[in-house]
Amino acid sequence: MATPTHPLRRELEVEIPLELVQRETERVTREFARHARLPGFRPGKAPAGIIRQRFWDDIRSEVLRALVPASLERAFQEKRLMPVGEPSIADLHFEPDQPLRFKASFEVLPEIELKDYKGLEVEPAKIELTDEDVERELETLRERAATYEPVEGRVAEDGDTVVVSLVGIVTEPKEKREPLTLEDAVVHLGEENTLPAFNENLRGVTRGEEKRFSVAYPADYPQAHLAGRTVAFTAQVKEVRRKQLPALDDDFARRVSDAPSLEELKTQLRAHLEEVRDQRERNLTRDRLLEALLARHDFPVPDALVERQMDRRLERQVRTLTAQGIDPRRVDVDWRKAWRAGREAAERDTRLGLLLDRIAAAEGIQATEEDSDREVARLAQQGRQSPEAVRARLTKEESWDSLKSAIRSEKVVDFLLTHARLTAPGR
């Protein structure tokens, strides 16, 4: 068995005995003869030689389809190999009165030598929570409860909200596109996130006015169908409104929550922010732990697994666009380039997954039925579905193995955290 350049790639030469090849060829020939319709012969009575001559390409394909996978599987078992991905078949020799020979090229899983994964030094993440954080959260609630009153007797100015109907034509780059239309677009004048062109051209308008202007969208604009384009807009001003923020008092607290007073609302907000802070600290500490684990283990990973991970990352991007109502086929994105750009992260995730699986095997860590039930209940609550609906979806998508693998990995991380050496006092 040869070993090509890649440390995990193997090449196996397989020979199938002539007797087995002849027996399978005869069986397939008989099957073809049963259904063949040849002039001068009754159905099923044509000689085998004529059948082979007439249908040899098809017979050959059927014989290969029957013998190659089965013989390759036997060879893997005999040599105790666990291939990753589909083997590549080359140098296939299938000649009359000769054994069938071919070479199979494939990748195998790496042999991971576990270093000391217990007692990893980790500095726990620590995020300070201040009174200013609570005030910002309170201000967010205040913004959500704001009302918008129509502006009378003056033009639009910073701090106002302008409601417009937009029709846009892409002028750069030159391309055939349907006009962009948007009813009741809301523009917050003077805000940091509002594009300068909208601020400059809608400042000073009044209700019923029409404005024409161009917007050059930056290349990193989050809406991909606009990024890097120049659009000529016609804007019909439907309304100009002024935001009115409610007073911060006990009435406000009762309106936006179940708190009886403003002070109680602040207490509730702090408790919520503490929960969020604690979760962020756990996630950051977890990430530091995993980086420390990866730093101790350097080993090659199969390209097939990395590329599978790259596929999944790209699929998630496509699903995100689809969920936003954007047709991925109409987005100006080089998907092949985007796929390649995810290789480094995919390789890191693949290495980590293999490492966690190896530790799980060493420590006998498994996902139990109780673990699966808890995760199904969590997913059901998160998606506002019944547990039965989640189970049906997982079964339909054949995702149970992925679910159990994710649970097992999380249990390994918990195990590592339990045995880690914290280099700074926790909270």
Torsional sign, CA 53, 59, 64, 66? negative
What percent of the chain is modeled with pLDDT above 90? 66
- The string of pLDDT tens digits covering residues 49-86 is 888 888 888 999 999 999 999 999 999 999 888 899 88
- Residue 136's Cβ-side half-sphere holds a number of Cα atoms within 13 Å equal to 6
- The string of pLDDT tens digits covering residues 176-190 is 778 899 999 999 999
Is residue 213 located within the same domain as residue 104? Answer: no
Is residue 310 located within the same domain as residue 322? Answer: yes
- The string of pLDDT tens digits covering residues 335-378 is 788 788 888 999 999 999 999 999 999 999 999 999 999 999 99
- What is the domain-level CATH number for residue 214? 3.10.50.40
Residue 5, token pair as written in the block? 């350049």
Is residue 283 located within the same domain as residue 361? Answer: no
Is residue 364 located within the same domain as residue 288? Answer: no
- The string of pLDDT tens digits covering residues 374-406 is 999 999 998 889 999 999 988 888 889 889 999
pLDDT computed for residue 1 by the predictor: 56
> Is the predicted pLDDT of residue 166 greater than 50, yes or no?
yes
Residue 369, token pair as written in the block? 């039925």
- The string of pLDDT tens digits covering residues 266-275 is 999 999 999 9
Is residue 403 located within the same domain as residue 325? Answer: yes
Is residue 180 located within the same domain as residue 291? Answer: no
Average pLDDT, the chain: 90
Is residue 328 located within the same domain as residue 409? Answer: yes
In a domain, 251, yes or no: no
pTM attached to this predicted model: 0.70
For 105, other C-beta atoms within 10 Å of its C-beta total 17
- The string of pLDDT tens digits covering residues 214-255 is 999 998 888 878 888 999 999 999 999 998 999 999 999 999
Is residue 354 located within the same domain as residue 220? Answer: no
Is residue 118 located within the same domain as residue 155? Answer: no
Would you say 161 and 187 are in contact if contact means Cβ atoms under 8 Å apart?
Answer: yes
Is residue 158 located within the same domain as residue 178? Answer: yes
Of the candidates 70, 74, 58, 69, which has an alpha carbon nearest to the alpha carbon of residue 25?
Answer: 58
Is residue 315 located within the same domain as residue 402? Answer: yes
For 301, other C-beta atoms within 10 Å of its C-beta total 24
Into how many domains does the chain fold?
4
Burial 131-159 (b: 16+ CB within 10 A, else e): eebbeebbeebeeeeeeeeebeeeebeee
Tell me which residue range forms the domain holding 382. Answer: 301-422
